[in-house]
């Protein structure tokens, strides 16, 4: 996602996954329970509903309140025409199939080529561990394969009936798609290099993590201190927050123990 050509810093994996869930159904009002199921599966934490609200608030601040809309306990995202690659892909595939049905193989091949060129690797590649990804990735892959089959049909028609061989660019793209060539894959995000790798997953603290990262993303927050008794996980929470933010790059996070029960 970009803003005037510059990539937007969407935040941690949970927020990116939530936005992906909304963008997979642009304009559709999705109940909070459906979002929770998609993010956490069958065993969500008690704080899941609050965490969704925190992430929605963050998305509204980042994208604009008119983009991410609240409908009671449901949410939707507005996408303008031409903004979302998935919608563009579906429109081009529809245009290609219509042209193929009319016998216009040349127009069909061009539209389907443009649609397939929008694929830059595996769908939802950076959200592999989220419960909703498997089914959605399979759905999108089926759409890609159907478009590829329609393109191949249009190509055969051009070659066999009209004697028109597709361009070298089209042939190269087809080979890359068939072979899942890494050259068409989007670059993967590099993990922060200045943080120790966690030994275990952070469980049950999604709300605190969302609150901490939301504060650190504010332009007026340069220092955030986590306080509490020793042994309550302040360091672990601080490291996870730094990891979601891509490492320490500007603001500072400090943990401080206090005496008491």
Domains and CATH numbers, the chain: 2-77 (1.10.10.10), 85-184 (1.25.40.10), 206-257 (no CATH)
Cβ atoms within 10 Å of 221's Cβ, excluding its own: 13
Q: What is the pLDDT of residues 38-65, one digit of tens each?
A: 999 989 999 999 999 999 999 998 888 8
Taking the alpha carbons at both ends of the chain, their separation in whole angstroms is 46
Instruction: Reduce the DSSP state of residue 154 to 3 states and report it.
Output: helix
pTM confidence score: 0.61
Q: What is the pLDDT of residues 64-75, one digit of tens each?
A: 889 999 999 999
Q: In terms of pLDDT, which residue wins out, 179 or 261? A: 179
Q: What is the pLDDT of residues 116-148, one digit of tens each?
A: 888 878 888 888 788 999 999 999 999 999 998
Average pLDDT of the chain to the nearest whole number: 78
Q: What is the pLDDT of residues 71-98, one digit of tens each?
A: 999 999 999 988 899 999 999 999 999 9
Q: Is 233 left (phi over 0), alpha (psi -120 to 50) or beta?
A: left
What is the mean pLDDT of the segment spanning 213-226? 69
């Amino acid at each position: 996602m970009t803003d005037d050509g510059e990539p937007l810093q969407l935040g941690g994996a949970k927020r990116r996954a939530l936005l992906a869930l909304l963008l997979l159904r642009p304009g559709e009002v999705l109940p909070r329970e459906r979002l929770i199921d998609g993010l956490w599966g069958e065993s969500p934490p008690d704080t899941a509903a609050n965490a969704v609200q925190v992430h929605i608030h963050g998305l509204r601040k980042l994208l604009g309140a008119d983009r991410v809309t609240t409908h009671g306990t449901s949410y939707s995202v507005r996408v303008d025409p031409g903004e979302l690659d998935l919608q563009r892909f579906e429109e081009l595939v529809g245009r290609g199939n219509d042209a193929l049905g009319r016998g216009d193989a040349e127009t069909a091949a061009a539209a389907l080529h443009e649609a397939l060129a929008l694929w830059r690797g595996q769908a939802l590649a950076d959200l592999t561990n989220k419960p909703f990804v498997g089914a959605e990735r399979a759905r999108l892959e089926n759409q890609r394969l159907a478009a590829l089959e329609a393109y191949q049909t249009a190509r055969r028609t051009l070659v066999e009936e009209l004697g028109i061989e597709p361009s070298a660019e089209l042939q190269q793209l087809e080979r890359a798609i068939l072979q899942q060539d890494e050259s068409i894959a989007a670059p993967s995000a590099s993990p922060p290099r200045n943080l120790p790798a966690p030994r275990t997953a952070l469980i049950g603290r999604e709300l605190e993590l969302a609150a901490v990262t939301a504060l650190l993303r504010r332009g007026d927050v340069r220092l955030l201190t986590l306080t509490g008794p020793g042994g309550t996980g302040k360091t672990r929470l601080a490291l996870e927050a730094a990891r979601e933010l891509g490492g320490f790059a500007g603001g500072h996070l400090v943990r401080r123990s206090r005496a008491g029960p």
